[in-house]
Structure 1
Amino acid sequence: MASSDWIEVQRLAAEFQRAQLSSALQKLSERNCVEIVSKLIELKLIDVFYTNDGKEYVTPQQLSKEISDELYLHGGRISLTDLVPILNIGLQAIESRAIELVQSRPEIHLVSGQLIDDDYMDRVVEEINETLQHNGQLTLVELTKAYELPIEFLLQQMVNRIGTIIQGQQDKHDHHVFFTEGFLARNKARIRGALSAITIPTSVSAIIAQNKFPERLFFSVVDELVASKRIQGSISGGRQANVATFIPDIYSRSQSEWIDNFLKQNGYLEYDALTRLGLPDPKSYCRKRFKETTLLYLSSCCVGSDILQQIEAAIEEALSSNSWVEIMSLLPSVFDENDAEQIITHVLKNSKNLPTKEAIVIGQSAIVSNSCINQLKPVFDPMIEKKANEVVASGAYLQAQADQRNAKMKSTKPDQTGDKKDKKEERRKKASEGKVGGGTQGRETKTRSTKKKYLKGKNDSDDEGEEEFTSISSSSFDLEFMSIDEIVKVLREQESVSEAPDNFFEEIAARLHKPLQSCFQEAARLAFEAMLASSSGQRRQTHGELQDKLQLLLQNIKQGEKAVQNFSSLDIQQQLIRHLLKTSGSELINELVLYMAEDSNVSGDSKEMSPEARQKLIGELPQKVRPALLALHKATQGASVDDFLSQAETAISACDIVLRKADKKKDKSATSIQRQGLIEQLSTATDAALVLHLAVLLIFHSVTQTVLNASGRFVPQIITFLQPHLPAPTVELLTTLQGLVIQELTSKGDENLLAQVHQSMTELVPRVREAAVTFKKSNQSSQE
């Protein structure tokens, strides 16, 4: 080195020593240092982590080094949360460096928030291997609990060390199980010995329980032994011990021989018997074994062609001889009714010689020919004729017709919408009312056959039309010929089917029920027509009685109106007229409505019907009489006798009834009859109010020579009217009895007063009765 260079070196060394020995002229405070570091971090010029106390900074490299050192110091396994207080660094920073550490160093693993290195896992696997060698078998479930490691991580580490640290092997079917070679060889020998001694099908669960074999190892060992043909047998039922069964080949061969011999000798195979032989799915076994044999597979067994041919021959014989056959008696006892039904269906479907249209299956196991059933129908002919005559004679047939008609009218009644009906609706309505005319030879329509009216007028020899009737369809006919139980009882008495089973009779009865019902309906219709022909004379008599009754009621209404005119008060007149129309008028329209209801086969039970019931019944009558009767019904609710009489004349004409001309002699005798009726009622009456009511009506008739139709509430008004026409004693009797009647009604709580009133009534009633009866005679004698 040159001398000048050395001198320069010495000078620089002296300056450096002087600089070291000299004190600093300026110093940075702690706050300034923090700000400078923060600015450097912000400018990303440096990368450091703060400590938890904020007094120190750690670089990522230093943090990774400290994490590695702590992992080594803790034996190769440490939790990230445990590093937080140790390194005084936040968990997030530790987690980020731990991930980078795991990525850069394959021997370190991050598992469930813990760092684990391979050295630690080597020690763990060595402990596991010691346990495996001691026990011969291990499962990962037990190890995960012991070492608190995930099962998949532990499995991977153990698999990686098989053949090095782990001296054993992994189960092929259950990867979570490990066992040693010695354990495998020992159990393989035991399983081979146990299965070699078995000669019948045995449950795998029983084999494992008796010999204490490991279940997971058993199936893999058996598969290996069977594949190498060291064991002659097979496992059926899957790989679950509770359902699997070991079947030795020696048993399978003897089993197959027994099945073949049984089928050949008996012609069928029972599934239950095959199940007892150890076959879990006998139907599938038969299909697989007898692919080339024609078998019919039933619900409980499979059957060969021999039995099917026997059944076909029996059915053919029964059909050709118009008889029946029960095939359950031809089948072995193991067959049930479901099997018999399937056999019959198969034979009828596949046989070419049987007249299948003639065959009728009864129940599940019997077949009868259609001709045999038809031969049983004539047995019921006498019963049908007898029952038809009975229902016609009792009126049940007529009632059933009325019910049918009412139901049909309700179902076909049009909506009251005000719209015009189309032509189709009009035709349907006319058809429901039937055709008019024809008499007894009239053509019958689907609904009914109406009649021609023969009116009884001046010529008493005129005939009256016969009653119309309705043809009831079999589906809605209410009268039943016989119930199914009754038909069964009759069938049991027939010799040709007396030996048939119970269900045979029930099925035959069910098939005969509808045809017999139709025959019964036709017989009842014919009997009804015969009755109509024989009852024409009786109907004429009824028509005449109705004419006389209507004539009398009209006369009573006219007489009642004349009697009402004697009262000067218009209000009283209106009230009496309303009462007259509600009584005598209602009686007249009731007679007409009931007559037409009977004539039209509409049910009407009583003449004492309410206005609502009468209006409802009118709505069910034929259209041609309905408007007139409705108008007359409305007139009975009014207060005009003239309007009622006009409507009555129209209604009577609409009902095809002609009244005789008025006869004054008969009218006079009718008035006398009414007076005599009042006298008879008065003589038998005991109630004071009724005696007073009848007495004033009788006296009113004597005074005015008219019959007044009034209720008891009009007695005061009638007495007021009669006072000018009666002697003073008679007026006093009537007013006294009236006062006692009123006093009786208003003093029911006072027993003493009631007793006095009754005593007074008892004394007055005979006198009032005598005064009312003798009033006219006294009047007439005084006039003479």
Structure 2
Amino acid sequence: MMLKIVILSAIVALANAGNKIKYNALTIGDTLAHPEMEFELGDPKPYDWKNEPTPKPYVNEFKIAQPLDDAARHAEPEIPQPPQPFSFGFSSMANDGTQSRQETQDASGKVTGSYTIVDANGAQRIVEYYADDTGFHANIKSNEPGIEQGERAANHLWNKQKIHFEQIKKDRTEEDLKNGVLQNYFFKSKNSATKSIDADNDSKKNPPKMVIMVAKKCRGKSSTGGDGGTGNGGGGATQRREVKTKAVKKKYKPGQKGQKMEQEPDDARINELEFIPMEQIIDVLTEKLTEDVSNEFIESIAESIYEDLRKSYESYAKELFITRNAEMNKSKKSFAELQCFVNSTYSKILLFNKTNEFIGESSSQAFKDLQSRLNKHLLRTLATDIVNELISFFNEELLSENISHEARTKIINKLDVEFKNDFLKLNDSLNSNEVKTFIDELDECAVKIDMMIKKIDSKKEKSILSEHQQSLLLQLNECQDSILCLHILVLLVFQMVHHHMLHASGKFVPQILQFLQKDTNDEIYQLIKQCQDYVLQFKATKDDQAKLDIKTKLNESIGHCKQLLNDFIAKKLSLRIVENK
């Protein structure tokens, strides 16, 4: 076979040998024709190296991640460490005496120690103390006169300061109750406990489930290749179970660092109710204790009683808060009662505002300023009462009468969105000087809560004026306090002279008297003015006997005013000068 191939190749070669290949090759001496090229060179230009562009700095386009600091790499949840046993002691000697101290702590956290002081005169005081879960306890041993052997140092010091801390506790509680701190604290504590219970109930009803996906038996060729078949040409896959679990993100696992980190500050704030800082306790003890007590001992006493003070304050605050709430809950109104209260107070506000506008119509700038101050007083009293009652009705807890604007705003923010915005506007209107703004916002708010606000007509206005005048007259005749009598007397005379009901506190009496001077009967005016002078003298005098004499004259003048006013009313005489002419 191979021989045949070789013979065939030789025959083909011989056949091609007869064909000559022609090339268009040049012979020696031939020249190539080409067009002539002309080059024209210009004048050389000097190189301007001064204006050479500055090379751009190299910028690395690849950003390299900065390494984390040690705190971020090794962040660990803070785990409370068990008490560590320790022991220490010291002793010092000086010209004014010696002192020594030793202290130990066992594995359970109980601290035991003693403190010894010996002065230059030989007076010795030994304090043996221990501190555990029950508090700080100590015994004093001394050769100083007036100190009984075995007297408990903590009780000795605490009893001397108890009254002072009790007063601080009461004052702080009243202040926190007024500012809404207690209401916010107990409200958050209640919500936190409720959410915790609901979460536990939800976890019991709906335990976390593992999602399992099972692959059904495949029909036809296996999609997993030879490993999935039976080895008989891909007749079908075996019954395999493919189990997949959905991973739960760490931030949703209980106890993990990422779980609702944004809520941790709020939870931390509602865990404890702060009393007073440690520095203030130390200052109180330092001020009240004798000079021979060392600062270290005072600090140890303060550290020991700090938690007891806080718990005592929290207990007292809770008791007071519950008591006040119970008292207010007794008077919590139904919607019909609330509507009646709002309409009654609303009508009075309209008439009081009408009086303020009447005073402001005067050309005197002093009376215009008086109108502005009366408007503020009206908003901070009757208008605030309406807002508190409305918010209390839609809130779980009743509001304190003295709650601040900021605390009321926090409570409003927890209401339903349907009412929240209108209540916020109504609350903000209390800080303005315009009663008209409050009235407009109240009308808008009443529409949202489906409350009907009744407008007053002339007949209703006359009825309210008459009732208010009779109420003032009754208060005047029953009042025994001369200064309060003067306040009521001025309001009553103002209404009888100008036929306007006035809402003002005692601090407005001098300005109101000035407004009454022009139109009021001179006899009654001079008596009232004399009473006002006696009140000013009484407040300015410090001598007890002088105060007693002035108070006697004031009582006599008030009695004359009452008698004269009752005579005018009985005889139906007018107190206005113009009408008497």
Q: What TM-score results when the alignment is normalised by the length of structure 2?
A: 0.40
Query: Which protein is bigger by CA-based radius of gyration?
Result: 1
Q: What TM-score results when the alignment is normalised by the length of structure 1?
A: 0.30
Relative contact order: is structure 1 or structure 2 higher (C-alpha 8 Å, sep ≥ 6)?
A: 2
